Structure 1
Amino acid sequence: MDKTFYNFLGIHAQALTINELNLLIGAAVKQNQKWIIANHNLHSLYLYHHQKKMQTFYAKADYTHIDGMALVLLGQRLGLPLQREHRVTYADWVWTLMTEAHQQKWRIFYLGSKPGVAETGANILRDKFPGLEIKTNHGYIDSNSESPENQEILSQITAYQPHILMVGMGMPRQENWILDNLEQICANVILPSGACIDYVAGAIPTPPRWMGRLGFEWLYRLLSEPKRLWKRYLVEPWFILKLFLQEFLTKQLKIN
């Protein structure tokens, strides 16, 4: 599969659809690879420019898809061949991913969410996909790589031998955890997956999908969790707008 990265706003990402991402997972399993399939949205873009460790993480990622219509729209304005189907968020992807996992008998280990939430979500998925192999552990752990609790989690993952490891601890904690433990992680595909299972479990309300397609999912999330997300959606975008204008004007000057 084409591994071409598009460079814009100081980051690099690929134009990957849900179907292409599922094919990548299948390839990793068939070839017995260990791939990180990361994602970028406006929040990760902001963190990338402010945290060295996030830059290191994305340098380690084998593939990086776009999770955010805003990035697709900004990329289009900068002349990139990005389409709406290249915006892949876990609220949409999780169902086709689990369908594929069920059919292909991929084992999934999910690390993340509050105690009880991950297992609630996993039970919902097991009911919808009978026979789905999914094991969970909450993400409220001592994430120091050398802590006994962290080593126990890694032992559980190794014993389970998952094809897919989903880490849903929120940015940048999930990326930091993956980076710190990468050498000990036993899985074909590692997915930093944010609030994926929280949506499945109903712990966080899922935005109407039409809002996501139009690029207004952020507004729904802001209204749902204003105390937690106000900075992400009302402050960080100004930094990203500055990046966009600098790059846009530079391109225009080159054209003229």
Structure 2
Amino acid sequence: MGRLILLGVEVDPLTMDELNGLIEEAVRDGRKIIIANHNLHSVYLYHSDSKMRAFFKKADVIHIDGMPLVYWARALGYRVSSGQRVTYIDWIYSLASIAETKGWRIFYLGGKLGVASRAALRLREKYPRLEIRTHHGYFAPEENGKILADIAVYRPHILMVGMGMPRQEHWVLDNLDKIQANAILTAGACFDYVAGAIPTPPRWMGRIGFEWLYRLMSEPRRLWRRYLWEPWFLLPLLIGDVVKRIRRNS
């Protein structure tokens, strides 16, 4: 299955194994790729932020990170499975395991001071030979050059940028020419979950599309707008998809 257009954005319905394979190809060929992702929050930001649109235009791969998009694809008649929804809470462990085996270096940029380093320690407990460095995401603009220099010296195969949407996408777009890495991943709060700074939703809730409810209950002040207000602005896009589907079938 090729690239789909859902709610006015492009997505690639890929599995975790397929994404790992794309990273392996980029490392092998010495190329630089951007692996982005879409959920309902990013769809909302995409349509309201021109810089987000510019970022996604640069992305080589845009995987699905949200069961609502999977369900919507199915409703439109596409054969998309739950295995084609890849979230970093699950993917990070597969990625770390492969990185340890293949000797890939990972650099994680994001999170509050001390959180990313704590997550890295936890990952090394599971994968002792994993090569990983981190830097928190709360840095001043004048520190940006030094961070880019640190990344360049380390030369990671995988750079994970976890500063939340849309800041992480803006940062990648602004610094893309200076970033030296084979695969650039926008990873959100991935390491916050690994470090235990944010409670991890039960995985069964993610598989049936109710992970958002757990997150909302865990962080209502931060997330109420994302989950209770933003989806209403996607309604015209939803109607547009239905109209296009009807026209194709008529």
Q: What is the TM-score with the length of structure 2 in the denominator? A: 0.98
Q: Identify the match of residue 95 of structure 2 among 94, 97, 103.
A: 97
242-251 vs 90-99, greater mean Cα deviation: 242-251
Q: Does 1:168 align with 2:156?
A: no
Q: Deviations over 1:90-142 (max 9, x none)?
A: 01101111110111110000000000000000000111101110000000012
3-state SS in 2 of match to 1:26:
helix
User: In structure 1, what is the equivalent of residue 5 of structure 2?
Assistant: 7
**Distance in 1 (alpha carbons) for counterparts of 2:88 and 2:208:** 16
User: Residue 81 of structure 1: CA displacement?
Assistant: 2.2
Q: Identify the match of residue 116 of structure 1 among 110, 114, 117.
A: 114
Q: Percent of pairs identical after alignment?
A: 57
3-state SS in 2 of match to 1:130:
coil
User: In structure 1, what is the equivalent of residue 70 of structure 2?
Assistant: 72
User: Residue 253 of structure 1: CA displacement?
Assistant: 4.3
State the one-letter code of the partner of 2:9.
I
User: In structure 2, what is the equivalent of residue 25 of structure 1?
Assistant: 23
Q: Identify the match of residue 63 of structure 1 among 51, 61, 64.
A: 61
Q: Does 1:82 align with 2:80?
A: yes
| Unpaired runs of at least 5, structure 1 | none
Q: Identify the match of residue 243 of structure 2 among 240, 249, 252.
A: 249
User: In structure 1, what is the equivalent of residue 213 of structure 2?
Assistant: 219
3-state SS in 2 of match to 1:95:
helix
**Distance in 2 (alpha carbons) for counterparts of 1:204 and 1:215:** 19
Query: How many pairs were matched up?
Result: 250
Aligned 1:225-244 pairs, distance under 5 A? 225-244=219-238
User: In structure 1, what is the equivalent of residue 46 of structure 2?
Assistant: 48
The answer to whether the 8 A contact 2:6-2:69 is kept is no
Q: Identify the match of residue 195 of structure 2 among 198, 201, 208.
A: 201
Q: Deviations over 1:149-193 (max 9, x none)?
A: 000000000000100000000000000000000000000000000
Q: Identify the match of residue 180 of structure 1 among 174, 177, 180.
A: 174
3-state SS in 2 of match to 1:167:
strand
**Distance in 2 (alpha carbons) for counterparts of 1:102 and 1:241:** 43
State the one-letter code of the partner of 1:129.
Y
**Distance in 2 (alpha carbons) for counterparts of 1:254 and 1:104:** 46
**Distance in 2 (alpha carbons) for counterparts of 1:247 and 1:29:** 37
User: Residue 254 of structure 1: CA displacement?
Assistant: 4.5
**Distance in 2 (alpha carbons) for counterparts of 1:244 and 1:194:** 25
Provide the aligned C-alpha RMSD in A.
Answer: 1.1
User: In structure 2, what is the equivalent of residue 133 of structure 1?
Assistant: 131
**Distance in 1 (alpha carbons) for counterparts of 2:77 and 2:248:** 13
3-state SS in 2 of match to 1:235:
helix
**Distance in 2 (alpha carbons) for counterparts of 1:218 and 1:179:** 27
Q: What is the TM-score with the length of structure 1 in the denominator? A: 0.95
Q: Does 1:35 align with 2:33?
A: yes
